Amino acid sequence: MLYPLKFKPIYKTKVWGGDKIRRIKNDSKVPENCGESWEISGVQDDVSVVANGFLKGNTLQEIIEVYLEEVVGDKVLEEYGYEFPILLKIIDAKENLSVQVHPDDETAAELHNARGKTEAWYILEADKDAKIIDGFNRDTTERELLQSIQDGNLEEMLKYHNVKSGEFYFIPAGRVHGMCAGTTVVEIQETSDITYRIYDYNRGNRELHTQYAVDVIDYKKNDKKSIDFSRIPDHSNQIVKCKYFTANYLPVMNSLLKDYSNTDSFVIYHCVHGQVNVKTPNGEEVLNEGETILIPACIDEVVLIPMKYSELLEIYMDLDENQPRKYDEYDIDTLQRQRKGTAENTDTGTKYKC
């Protein structure tokens, strides 16, 4: 019987990384210059491993292969097969990240046999005068962009936002963007690790990908600002809803029953502040600040009991019934037949029946 799942964070050292993730995670094992903590990942070669319960030591993909729609939901399984569709990270920028862009799904599939990357940022912490780059401050062209890179004045055409804790930004594929020094975010994104760098602040030891980037960039001026959303206590306040994910801001002051019986999806909670006991009919876990937990789709009711005032990000999929399937080879009846019997994790020897 599936239960709330915690995972071992995957820490990534970066040239621009700092020490805030070590403090946020309260984990002495976080390496120096840690730029990213991958909280939940289905990215090939970086798939999350369960850290709690009888499935401890099994990967997220292995669990999906066995439990199928009980983990992710029927529609998600039909659309994504064994691939978990969301990558959730904490990112700490002690120095500027590169100015970059991500391809859309079609381009990524054609060039890299991968998914594109639409993403969103919740600002966890921001130093004084911290900024992000979010598109262009005026309409431009490929030719003008390339000339500005050559002349060293790209930054003059970029749109900067001064940011503060609690803000939320949506960054679709094709939008030039970057985190500047002093910014720490929770990043919600498609399961993809495809990034095209176009400018790296003269850090000459890292490859640029301008030849790919120019074909996917949206050259129009970006008039968008941070997303304005409600902050009603004990309520799921919707921040963004797109075909790749829905993200809500959920402040918890009192014990709260969440009914997911009409949600055909897993649910992810990330605690940005406080501490919450996550209680379900199949088990309970304490969710500390900086931690992430996955509620499998087969769990319909969750009780959130705050140890103190807490703030969560609530993330799930909301796929349109009429949305075409991308992967016809994932026939749900076949997958369900394959699930019969016992699966074994060869690394841990853990066996589990379905």
Helix%, strand%, coil% for the chain, nearest 5: 15, 40, 45
- Neighbour tally for 53: CB within 10 Å: 15
Give the CA distances from residue 98 to residues 146, 160, 199, 234, in Å, rounded to whole numbers and listed in that order: 16, 14, 6, 38
Among this protein's residues, is 143 annotated catalytic?
A: no
| DSSP codes joined into one string, 250-305 | EEESS-EEEE-TT--S-EEEEEEESEEEEEETTEEEEEETT-EEEE-TT--EEEEE
* Distance in angstroms (rounded) separating the CA atoms of residues 124 and 91: 9
- Kindly give the interhelix angle for 332-339 and 60-67, rounded to the nearest 10 degrees: 100
DSSP state of 170: E
Burial (CB count within 10 angstroms: exposed 0-12, middle 13-18, buried 19+), residue 235: middle
Dihedral sign from CA coordinates of 167, 12, 109, 101? positive
Q: Catalytic residue among 22, 115, 197, 203, which?
A: 197
Q: Which helix (H) or strand (E) holds 183?
A: strand 183-190
Amino acid at 142: E
* Distance in angstroms (rounded) separating the CA atoms of residues 4 and 138: 46
Q: Is 59 helix (H, G, I), strand (E, B) or coil?
A: strand
Nearest to 195 by CA among 182, 181, 183, 178: 178
Residues designated catalytic: 197
